[in-house]
Structure 1
Amino acid sequence: MSENNNIQTALQMIEADINTDESLSLLNELSGSLNHITGNSGESSFSVNDMEDEKSIFVIARSGSKAAGCGAIRRIDDSTGELKRMYAKEQGLGVGTSILNFLENKALEFGYSRLICETRKINAGACSFYIRNGFHIIPNYGKYQGRDEAVCFEIRIR
C-alpha cells in the first residue's frame, strides 16, 4: 500500500464546532495560504454563521491527534450546497480528496443533488483539484458574477 493510501485510511473526519481554537487555527492557516497564492484570504466569502444551518457542516480531517485539513458545506437552496474553506495542510497526500468524498456523502444525506464552489483562476492547484475530482466549470454565480478573477465549479452527486 502506498504512503498516500496509508494517510487516507488513517484519516478520521470529525464534524467540528467552527468556533473552537483548532477550527479557527485551520481557517487562519487557509486564509494565509490563500492570501499568499491569490492576494485575497477569502474570509469575506465565508461566515461562521452559515454553519448554524441544519444542512451545513464544518469538518476537520485528523491523522491521529493532528488536524490535517478542513472543509465545509453551506446551504444555497434545497438542492444545492456550496463547498467552502477546503484546506489540506500538506498537498499530495490525499487529504483534500478524503475531505471532499466525506462532504459529498454528507451532501447526499442533506438531500443535495449538486455541489458548487468558487476559487480564483490563479489558484491552479485548487482548479486542477476540482477538475480531477469530477467538477466542471460553470458560469460564475452569485457574488462572483462579472468577476474575471473567479472561476466556479459544479459537480452533480447521486
Structure 2
Amino acid sequence: MIKLIRTNSENEDFINLVKDLDSYLKITDGEEHDFYNQFNSIKTLKHAVVAYFKNQPVGCGAFKKLSQSSVEVKRMYTKEDARGIGVATEVLNELEHWAKEQNYTSTVLETGLRQTEAVQFYKKNAYQVIPNYGQYIGVKNSLCFEKKLKDEKR
C-alpha cells in the first residue's frame, strides 16, 4: 500500500527524492539542463507530497501558486524501482485535491518532449496540452499542460 504525506520543501525525504530527480533530468535534458534547472528551486515550496511504499520514500511532487486560480505542479518523480504501481498517480491526485482545498480551479505544468513517459502520464490523467506559458514560451523542448479541477461527487 502506498502512503502519502503532505509536507513542504524542508522534508528530508522530499529533498533526497528531488536530488534523484535532478540527476535523472541532467541526463535527459542534456545541454538544456541549466536552463530548466533555474526554475526548479524547492526552497519556497509550501505544498509537497511524499509517497512511501513499504516505509521507503519512493515518489514526490509539489505545487506552487501561479495565479489566483491556478497552481503549477512541480518536481514530480517516482524512483525507477517503484514505477508501475501507481505512485505518480497517487501523488498527482493528492496534489490536485490539496489545490482544490485551497480553492484553486486548475493546475498547469511543463515537461520536456524527451520525457515521453511523463507526457503519456499527464495525458492519461486528463491533462490537456496548452500553449507554452511564462518562461517556457518559445522553448521547443517544452510541452505545457493544464487540467481544470472539478468538484467530484463522492
Query: TM-score, normalised to structure 2's length?
Result: 0.88
Aligned length: 145
Deviation, structure 1 residue 148 = 0.7
**Could you list the runs of 5+ residues in structure 1 that have no partner in the other structure?**
1-9
What is the alpha-carbon distance in structure 1 between the residues aligned to residue 3 and residue 110 of structure 2?
26
Structure 2 residue 136 is the aligned partner of structure 1 residue 144 = yes
Quick check: 1:61 aligned with 2:51? yes
Aligned to 1:16: 7
Alignment partner of 1:127 is 2:119: yes
2: CA distance, partners of 1:20 / 1:97: 21
Aligned to 1:80: 70
Quote the residue 1:28 is aligned against. Answer: 19
SS at match of 1:134: coil
Return the offset for 1:16.
2.4
Query: Secondary structure of the equivalent of 1:85?
Result: strand
Moved >6 Å (runs of 4+): none
Work out the CA distance in 1 between the residues paired with 2:83 and 2:23.
Answer: 15
Match of 2:60 among 66, 70, 94: 70
Task: Give distance in 2, aligned partners of 1:116 and 1:17.
Answer: 19
CA distances 1:46-100 after superposition (whole Å, capped 9, x unpaired)? 222432xxxx401101123200100001001110000000011132111000001
Q: SS state of the match for residue 78, structure 1?
A: coil
Give the 3-state SS of the residue equivalent to 1:33 in structure 2.
helix
1:38 offset after TM fit, Å? 2.4
Instruction: Between 14-23 and 91-100, report the one with greater CA deviation.
Output: 14-23
- TM-score (norm: length of structure 1): 0.86
Q: Does 1:44 align with 2:38?
A: yes
Q: Pick one of 89, 99, 102 that aligns with 1:97.
A: 89
- Report the Cα distance in structure 1 between the residues aligned to 2:90 and 2:37, rounded to whole angstroms: 23
Aligned identity (percent) is 32
Q: Which runs of 5+ in 2 are unaligned?
A: none
